[in-house]
Amino acid sequence: MAGGITDTGELYSPYVGLVYMFNLIVGTGALTMPKAFATAGWLVSLILLMFLGFMSYMTTTFVVEAMAAANAQLRWKRMEKRKEDDEDEDSSSGVSDSDVLLQDGYERAETRPILSVQRRGSANIFEITERVEMGQMASMFFNKVGVNLFYFCIIIYLYGDLAIYAAAVPVSLMQVTCSVTGNHSCSVGDGTKYNDTDKCWGPIRRIDAYRLYLAAFTLLLGPFTFFNVQKTKYLQIMTSLMRWIAFILMIILALVRISRGQAEGHPSMAQLSGIRNLFGVCVYSFMCQHSLPSLITPISKKKHVNKLVLLDYILILAFYSLLSFTAIYCFRNDTLMDMYTLNFTNCDIISMAFIRYFLGLFPVFTISTNFPIIAVTLRNNWKTLFHREGGTYPWLVDRIVFPAITLIPPVLVAFCTHDLESLVGITGAYAGNGIQYLIPAFLAYCSRKDTQLVFGSGTVNKHLSPFRHSFWIVFVLIWGFSCFVFVTANIVLSESKL
**Could you tell me which residue, 493 or 322, shows the higher pLDDT?**
322
Does pLDDT of 180 surpass 90?
no
The pLDDT of residue 406 is 93
Report the chain's mean pLDDT, rounded to a whole number.
83
Please name the helix (run of DSSP H) or strand (run of DSSP E) that holds residue 199, with its range, or none: strand 199-201
Beta carbons within 10 angstroms of residue 401's beta carbon: 13
The pLDDT of residue 473 is 96
Annotation: CATH topology of 14-79+128-182+196-496: Amino acid/polyamine transporter I (1.20.1740)
Give the CB-side neighbour count of residue 482, counting CA atoms within 13 A: 6
pLDDT in tens, 89-137: 766 655 554 444 344 443 434 444 444 444 344 457 888 988 888 888 9
Backbone angles phi, psi at 197, to 5 degrees: -90, -5
- Taking CA 404 as the corner, what is the angle to CA 398 and CA 406, rounded to the nearest 5 degrees? 95
The pLDDT of residue 233 is 62
How many helices (H) and strands (E) in the chain?
19, 4
Residue 423 near residue 160 (C-beta atoms within 8 A): yes
DSSP-derived secondary structure letter, 140: H
Structural domain boundaries in the chain: 14-79+128-182+196-496
Does pLDDT of 280 surpass 80?
yes
The pLDDT of residue 467 is 94
| Rounded (to 5) percent helix, strand, coil in the chain | 75, 0, 25
- DSSP, collapsed to helix, strand or coil, labels residue 37 as helix
The pLDDT of residue 193 is 62
DSSP calls for 68-136: HHHHHHHHHHHHHHHHHHHHHHHHHT---HHHHHHHHHHHHHTTS--THHHHTT-TTTT---SEE-HHH
pLDDT in tens, 328-362: 999 988 888 888 998 888 777 787 888 888 888 88
d(CA 145, CA 386): 13
**Could you tell me which residue, 277 or 439, shows the higher pLDDT?**
439
Backbone angles phi, psi at 341, to 5 degrees: -60, -30
Long-range contacts: 18-25, Cβ < 8 Å, 24+?
Answer: 18/308, 18/311, 18/312, 20/295, 21/288, 21/295, 21/309, 21/312, 22/312, 22/315, 22/316, 23/240, 23/243, 24/288, 24/291, 24/295, 25/285, 25/286, 25/287, 25/288, 25/312, 25/316
d(CA 442, CA 62): 9
Please name the helix (run of DSSP H) or strand (run of DSSP E) that holds residue 305, with its range, or none: helix 305-330
